[in-house]
């Protein structure tokens, strides 16, 4: 009787529950591995001598690498957990074929409805590439002047002198003054 119960319990556990645990464990491992690889790559970029000579802005390069690393880690985590979630759903017996097919139609509808999000993300990417500002810079944007606390793909946060934290959508930043940018002679 006891052996039959243990055998049934093992049979049940070795099916979907074991697969789900394995998927979660692998996702956690890949997330950790990707995070370490991104951190290592960004540390190398932060210390690389891309612009030799006296005009080299090491601090600025470190901040850009830190910001890019944060964005890359967030993107890799989103991709890893999206894949893991779909694998877990398939273990529950959910047929993913119709879900994937309808994702195209939903994607078009969301794309039309989420144009501002796409604009914010694209503006954030270009702000990072063009090095318009970084964490710790004193900037003036819209009617706000303060220190940049974080730069994301969609949102930038700026702390004003009175302590107010402002959340600025990157797509809405049309004109910006950076008091911290080094002068070029």
Residues 159, 135 contacting (CB under 8 angstroms): no
DSSP result, 123-140: HHHHHHHHT---TT-EEE
DSSP symbol at 52: -
Domain 114-185 = CATH 3.40.50.2300? no
Residues 124, 153 contacting (CB under 8 angstroms): yes
Q: Which residues of the chain have pLDDT under 50?
A: 185
The reported pLDDT for the residue numbered 58 is 67
The reported pLDDT for the residue numbered 15 is 72
Please give the Cα distance from 58 to 169 (Å, whole number).
28
Number of alpha carbons in the 13 Å side-chain half-sphere of residue 49: 3
The reported pLDDT for the residue numbered 57 is 63
Please give the Cα distance from 146 to 138 (Å, whole number).
5
The reported pLDDT for the residue numbered 52 is 59
Other residues' Cβ atoms within 10 Å of the Cβ of residue 67: 23
Residues 137, 171 contacting (CB under 8 angstroms): no
Please give the Cα distance from 19 to 115 (Å, whole number).
38
Would you kindly state where each structural domain of the chain is located, as residue ranges?
1-97, 114-185
Query: Considering the entire predicted model, what is its pTM?
Result: 0.57
């Amino acid at each position: 009787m006891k052996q039959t119960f243990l055998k049934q319990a093992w049979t049940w556990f070795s099916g979907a529950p074991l697969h789900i645990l394995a998927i979660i464990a692998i996702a956690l491992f890949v997330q950790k591995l990707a995070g370490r690889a991104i951190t290592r790559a960004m540390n190398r970029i932060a210390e690389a001598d891309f612009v030799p000579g006296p005009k080299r802005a090491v601090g600025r390069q470190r901040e850009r690498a830190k910001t890019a690393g944060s964005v890359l880690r967030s993107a890799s985590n989103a991709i890893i957990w999206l894949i893991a979630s779909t694998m877990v759903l398939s273990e529950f017996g959910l047929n993913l074929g119709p879900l994937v097919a309808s994702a195209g139609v939903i994607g078009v509808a969301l794309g039309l409805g989420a144009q501002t999000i796409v604009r914010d993300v694209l503006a954030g990417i270009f702000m990072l590439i063009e090095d318009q500002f970084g964490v710790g810079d004193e900037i003036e944007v819209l009617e706000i002047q303060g220190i940049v606390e974080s730069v994301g793909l969609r949102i930038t946060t700026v702390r004003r002198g009175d302590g107010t934290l402002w959340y600025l959508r990157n797509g809405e930043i049309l004109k910006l003054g950076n008091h911290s940018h080094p002068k070029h002679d």
